[in-house]
Amino acid sequence: MGMHGYAYAAATIAVFFCIIHFFHRRLCCKHPLLTDYPILGMLPQLLYNLCHIHDFFTQILKLHGGTGEFTGPWFTNMDYLVTIDPLNVHHVLSKSFHNYVKGPLFRDIFQAFGDGIFTADSQPWKYNRDLFHSLFKRKGFEVFLEKTIHNKVRSSLAPVLDSLHQQGCVVDLQDVFNRFTFDNICSVVLGNDPNCLSVDFPDVAIEKAFNQAEEGIFYRHVVPRCVWKLQKLLQIGQEKKMTKACKTLDQFIHTCIASKREDQRKYKENEKAEADDHVDLLTSLMREEAHEDKFLRDAVFNLFVAGRDTITSALTWFFWLVATNPIAEVKILEELKDKFGNMNEKSSPGVLNVEEVKKLVYLHGAICESLRLFPPIPFEFKQAIEADVLPSGHGVDAGETILFSLYAMGRCKEIWGEDCSEFKPERWISQKGGMVYVPSYKFIAFNAGPRTCLGKDLSFIQMKMVAAFILSNYCVQVVEDFVATTNLSIVLLMNYGLKVRITKRGN
């Protein structure tokens, strides 16, 4: 047989194999969400609709009863079972928690997170969770957090908003929140305020590096693993940007760790007898036990993402919804006036404390409603250890990945009713004026089951303190013709920011 004969035989075998593989996929994929193209799978439709991916998947999942299969290009390990069925969510995140893990693929995609609490499984995860739980519940930490927010609002947020009012210019409110939360999380975690939020809006490389790293992680979700792995090896495209961003982040974090170690050395030399409860989390971690630098680096990175981007996202979407729903704004202001009088009549308007914001039921409901429609983390996925069957009847193979769309769940009428697309804080308030309980597997903005966010209560405290201060003292007006769109990142921020004008609220 000549060379042409061998080539023809090889091509024939390859075509035959591809046909068999194609029909095998068709037979195995019993609940396809999209058209499964030969070789490319369902990726073409995903990429075509990437600019509005969350709304696209919301519509697709509704058409398929809430659960279906997504298959990526052949041999790329991009096959997912996607669901918004709350019973499936409850099964995976709670009832069968030990059978579903983050898994090696998740850790590979979220490499920047290291071995921190968000990527860890089994015993390492439990150790991290118990450690952070003890820090958050420590006597004085809530007081430390409250003091930090008060200082940041008075020293930075108020002057910036006053300056914007005087200038009468358009500002990106999301950028304001990004800077505020970055300064705040630096103070809480590192004990150091970088002063990103000031009237001159300085460029801060570390703040931009976090954004770039998160965009890179999202990119890894929507392109085949072999593609981004190759880009990482060659240091081109999005992976080059991500490598540079992670290097900037690591340098910043390791510098902070070295500085803290020196502070701890001096602390021991001074032989202080009593430990101060009102200290930053990195100091607390170092005092807890002798952790290696890598553990501290991963802990700091995970705390930064949890305490910065999620709060920025929540506040941005909240203020956009309130500004575009004036009735809700009026009710929030009425509640503030009813509880605390005319706060803006004071010569130096203050910030509410922890106990005071806990009294704001309608504001709490409005924030919950914002989180329902725009969850800061729009999707979550888990990997099955052993084969399983979900409550919906869908089978799960060992090693298969299940993806939850939190964004789509917030727009599911089977969960929230026919008015699920409306911003309606009243759905969270009972006839007696208390909060309506919604199971976490239906409202999973803070995850559900054993992995429920440890900082949930702290997050609500921060958001309500900031929201109450701004709304009682300033009017936030969205610029005419502004259209809010979601960005492409692992955290649901606004694409191009939130363009508004700030004016002082009259008496």
Q: Binding site membership for heme: which residues?
A: 453
Query: What are the tokens at 104?
Result: 């090696």
Binding-site positions: 453
User: How far apart are the C-alpha atoms of 403 and 10, rounded to whole Å?
Assistant: 38
Which sign does the torsion angle of CA 327, 328, 332, 333 carry? negative
Nearest to 298 by CA among 118, 101, 126, 106: 118
DSSP H or E segment with residue 69: strand 67-70
Q: Which residue's structure tokens are 């991290």?
A: 128
Cα separations in angstroms, 497 against 165, 317, 323 = 19, 10, 15
Question: How many Cα atoms occupy the beta-carbon half-sphere of 448 within 13 Å?
Answer: 26
DSSP H or E segment with residue 170: strand 170-172
User: How far apart are the C-alpha atoms of 375 and 492, rounded to whole Å?
Assistant: 7
User: How far apart are the C-alpha atoms of 125 and 106, rounded to whole Å?
Assistant: 14
Query: What are the tokens at 100?
Result: 């579903």
What residues are paired with 494 via a beta bridge?
486
Nearest to 257 by CA among 278, 276, 289, 285: 285
Which sign does the torsion angle of CA 153, 453, 496, 467 carry? negative
User: How far apart are the C-alpha atoms of 314 and 174, rounded to whole Å?
Assistant: 10
Strand-pair category, 80-83 with 401-405? parallel
The total of other beta-carbon atoms located within 10 Å of residue 166's CB is 11
Query: What are the tokens at 41?
Result: 């799978």
| 8 A C-beta contact, residue 384 and residue 477 | no
Nearest to 211 by CA among 296, 119, 305: 305
Question: How many Cα atoms occupy the beta-carbon half-sphere of 386 within 13 Å?
Answer: 4
| 8 A C-beta contact, residue 184 and residue 148 | yes
User: How far apart are the C-alpha atoms of 343 and 363, rounded to whole Å?
Assistant: 16
Nearest to 41 by CA among 79, 69, 72: 72
Query: What are the tokens at 243?
Result: 């490598």
